[in-house]
Structure 1
Amino acid sequence: MKLAYLMNTYPVTSGTFIRREIAAIEQTGVPVTRFAVRRWTEALVDPLDQAEQARTRYLLSGNAAGLVLAMLAELLTRPHRVARALPAWAGLWRAGGGFVRHVAYLMQAAALRRQTAAAGITHVHCHFCTNAAAVAMLSRLMGGPAYSFTVHGPDELVNLPAQGIAAKIANAAAVIAITRYCQGRLREHVSADLWPRIHIVHCGLKLEDFPDTAGNPRGETLVCVGRLCPQKGQVHIPAAVAAVRGRFPGLRVILIGDGESRAAIEAEVARHGVGDMVALAGWKSNAEVRAAIADARALLLPSYAEGLPIVIMEAFALRRPALSTTIAGIPELVDAECGWLVPPGDHDALVAALADAMAASPERLAAMGAEGRARVEARHDLAAIAPRLVSLFTAA
């Protein structure tokens, strides 16, 4: 098997888990060729992401002429194969997204088919069931390599029919869901005879990057890691901090990340007068994120929409409990033994959980941290996950 990974935009600051997964697969002895539709336009902070960008082949970014030539070449030399892809292409177009976008998908598929053929690629794996999976499916129908894709959520699960999910699953060699919740959502859209094609394989960590030496949770700092956006719910943090300020005047919350909600969060910080307690630190490198979590008492992630956040796994690997919400796959990893779960957007529940986290004894925090570490070692170790992925790809 010669393997390629195809992503829509890669690498991105919030996509470290994909880079880690690729590296783990290569450690099994299977080289991976990286493809992406487009280059991320924001600055990459981590040196490993910067190096990964240099290794990635881009179908669209800086390659408009190449796409046109690839499409013309396929039409001239393999018109019957292009015709075979047209019914599926028309189905994607009818599902939504606009004619021009779907013409671009077809052109990207032609370029991918030709580049994978030249490289001898036999299998393409995509992350997310959106654009990249559409391109991989069309490439397959045009005579390209078999493909599979991993579905995470939350955005891609909002309107699965508009993603053409039934056709993507039907034509895929394998589909990977990262949680039971995700698997169930996918099964709703295909017949039962296709259910065995949908496997649960968790995302994971390279545990060597998280040595079990962080010690027990300590201090009065909580860390929130993620893009600053409405889905992550960080805008609720200042009000919750203000509500417990009298009991825990030493509380500090550090928000690592950036995004469109920054101004709204800053306004809430000012409105509640907690500028001395809530700090917006911007994006940090992977090493800086690990250090911040290791120095914290717990992770705080009051999200409205998630799949299963990698940062919770990172916190658990560092023996830090997590305070998060009862959505999607999060309850499959987090419960009262290793953290706190609250309904998203519930101010009173968030305040109560925040107060409980701050009041927890060192012994209780240590027990929660130990349970989190044990769960990550059992379920989210890339050293065990990567061979399973390779086995699925090879069988496919």
Structure 2
Amino acid sequence: MIACCNSVRSLNGPLPVCSRAANRRCDGRERYCTRGLESINGLLLRDRGVEQIHVHHGYFSSWIAMVAARMLGIPFSMTLHGSDLLMHAAHMNTKLRECEFCITVSEFNREHIYAHYPTVDRNKVLVQRLGVEIPANSSKKRVHALGANRVPVLLAVGRLHPVKNHVFLLRACFLLRECGVRFRCLIVGDGPERAKLEFLIQELKIADLVTMVGHVPHDDIAEYYEAADLVLLTSHSEGIPLVLMEAMAHGKIVLAPSITGIPELVEAGKTGFLYAAGDLEQFVWQVEQICKSLSALGSIGRAAREHILQNFDQYKNLAKFADVFMQRIAHSDRSHADENFVLQQI
């Protein structure tokens, strides 16, 4: 059984299963994918026949998984996404050296590992794409009444955190108004930057253009994608963003910074548009041009959806992940040379 969870309160109790495809490919050995400080409770798994710990993200949880696995005398592996590798890579060299294998979500990330950690065995760094659920049909329904004078709807979805750079988006909205562009902007999400962003909206006098929607349950987010004409991303750092995948699966036009693994998802002028990160003038110009040309960009929306269908389908990629995971485990070397590893870390 493979049991995957986003957080573990206690490993004394049952773990939720979130990967049915992975379960079907398991050979009966128990493996636990943990995230969070509580994974030190892996010591309690000694009598459960656990043979592998896999952890998602390379933050502190990966260090705990590494130490817990060594305490149990079993291997650990990890999946690296974006900021965990690119911005908060504490002790990453040790984690990469000690893990049995490392899965990452983009070719950019793999090349970053090769460049910054040259002593790591390249054969154990694997790329496996993430994916999203593909909506059956991309409907034309709009859930927001725009009135008779319908204007393009811009949408940003994401946690209100400095790394998402919503300040950049708000300044762009101010400049778009100065340029005479008619639009409406919806910002879906919540987080520690909310008060700052609300203050900036008032300061820039764009409250009539920008709506802070707040948190929206994931099951309800589709209606916002359907309402949007253009989905925007302004982050400083990303892996390959699920927000862009979801928008493209709905056949929406996207505009995102040309950073990290994003160009592997968005091919400029074919499946969406890219801009130079931090270039406010270029960003504003591209939004303006896209808004003027929406009626002619249907083919890009269709190409975006097809690209997600072919390369970023959640179920197809989960099945591939399970196959790769089980193949790696089946051919792994279970020996550990340095039995004093944990004591050396304390």
| TM-score of Structure 1 vs Structure 2, range by shorter chain | 0.7 to 0.9
Mapped to 1, the partners of 2:271 and 2:83 lie a distance apart of 23
Once the two structures are TM-superposed, the CA of residue 314 in structure 1 deviates from its matched residue by 0.1
| Partner of residue 96, structure 2 | 169
Mapped to 1, the partners of 2:191 and 2:120 lie a distance apart of 42
Q: 1:331 aligns with which of 245, 263, 283?
A: 263
Mapped to 1, the partners of 2:20 and 2:254 lie a distance apart of 26
Query: Is 2:303 aligned against 1:303?
Result: no
Query: Is 2:143 aligned against 1:211?
Result: no
Mapped to 2, the partners of 1:377 and 1:345 lie a distance apart of 30
| Partner of residue 139, structure 1 | 68
In the TM superposition, 1:109-128 aligns within 5 A as 109=40, 111-115=41-45, 117-128=46-57
Tell me: CA distance 1:309–1:318, structure 2 relative to 1, closer, same or farther (3 Å): same
Tell me: CA distance 1:362–1:292, structure 2 relative to 1, closer, same or farther (3 Å): same
Mapped to 2, the partners of 1:300 and 1:9 lie a distance apart of 33
Tell me: CA distance 1:9–1:153, structure 2 relative to 1, closer, same or farther (3 Å): farther
Tell me: CA distance 1:113–1:3, structure 2 relative to 1, closer, same or farther (3 Å): farther
Mapped to 2, the partners of 1:181 and 1:26 lie a distance apart of 26
Once the two structures are TM-superposed, the CA of residue 26 in structure 1 deviates from its matched residue by 4.8
Once the two structures are TM-superposed, the CA of residue 32 in structure 1 deviates from its matched residue by 7.4
| Partner of residue 23, structure 1 | 19
Query: Is 2:191 aligned against 1:264?
Result: no
Query: Is 2:254 aligned against 1:322?
Result: yes
Once the two structures are TM-superposed, the CA of residue 254 in structure 1 deviates from its matched residue by 0.6
Mapped to 2, the partners of 1:35 and 1:222 lie a distance apart of 37
Mapped to 2, the partners of 1:220 and 1:32 lie a distance apart of 48
Query: Is 2:113 aligned against 1:180?
Result: no
Once the two structures are TM-superposed, the CA of residue 147 in structure 1 deviates from its matched residue by 2.1
Calculate the TM-score normalised by the size of structure 1: 0.71
The 3-state SS of whatever aligns with 1:222 is strand
Once the two structures are TM-superposed, the CA of residue 6 in structure 1 deviates from its matched residue by 6.3
Once the two structures are TM-superposed, the CA of residue 36 in structure 1 deviates from its matched residue by 3.8
Say which structure is richer in helix: 1
Mapped to 1, the partners of 2:204 and 2:116 lie a distance apart of 45
Once the two structures are TM-superposed, the CA of residue 113 in structure 1 deviates from its matched residue by 3.1
Query: Is 2:80 aligned against 1:151?
Result: yes
Once the two structures are TM-superposed, the CA of residue 236 in structure 1 deviates from its matched residue by 2.0
Query: Is 2:296 aligned against 1:360?
Result: no
Over the matched positions of the two proteins, sequence identity in percent amounts to: 22
Once the two structures are TM-superposed, the CA of residue 125 in structure 1 deviates from its matched residue by 1.7
Q: Once superposed, which parts of structure 1, at least 4 consecutive aligned residues long, lie more than 4 Å away?
A: 6-10, 29-34, 215-219
- Unmatched runs of 5 consecutive residues or more in structure 2: 10-15, 143-149, 330-346
For residue 64 of structure 2, what is the amino acid of its counterpart? V
Cα RMSD after superposing both structures: 2.7
Query: Is 2:127 aligned against 1:200?
Result: yes
**Contact 1:5–1:124 (8 Å) recurs in 2:** no
The 3-state SS of whatever aligns with 2:18 is helix
| Partner of residue 68, structure 1 | none
For residue 114 of structure 1, what is the amino acid of its counterpart? L
Once the two structures are TM-superposed, the CA of residue 259 in structure 1 deviates from its matched residue by 1.6
Tell me: CA distance 1:135–1:343, structure 2 relative to 1, closer, same or farther (3 Å): same
The 3-state SS of whatever aligns with 1:122 is strand
Tell me: CA distance 1:113–1:234, structure 2 relative to 1, closer, same or farther (3 Å): same
Greater shift, 277-286 or 235-244, is seen at 235-244
Mapped to 1, the partners of 2:159 and 2:175 lie a distance apart of 24
Tell me: CA distance 1:159–1:284, structure 2 relative to 1, closer, same or farther (3 Å): closer
**Contact 2:189–2:216 (8 Å) recurs in 1:** yes
Once the two structures are TM-superposed, the CA of residue 7 in structure 1 deviates from its matched residue by 5.1
Mapped to 1, the partners of 2:64 and 2:225 lie a distance apart of 37
Deviations 1:53-74 (A, max 9, x none): xxxxxx2xxxxxxxxxxxxxxx
Q: 1:289 aligns with which of 215, 218, 221?
A: 221
Tell me: CA distance 1:189–1:9, structure 2 relative to 1, closer, same or farther (3 Å): farther
| Partner of residue 281, structure 2 | 348
Once the two structures are TM-superposed, the CA of residue 274 in structure 1 deviates from its matched residue by 1.1
Once the two structures are TM-superposed, the CA of residue 215 in structure 1 deviates from its matched residue by 4.5
| Partner of residue 336, structure 2 | none
Size of the aligned set, in residue pairs, is 310
Deviations 1:289-313 (A, max 9, x none): 1110111102111111111110000
**Contact 1:3–1:122 (8 Å) recurs in 2:** no
Mapped to 1, the partners of 2:274 and 2:287 lie a distance apart of 10
Greater shift, 165-174 or 281-290, is seen at 165-174
Mapped to 1, the partners of 2:304 and 2:141 lie a distance apart of 12
The 3-state SS of whatever aligns with 2:225 is helix
The 3-state SS of whatever aligns with 1:188 is helix
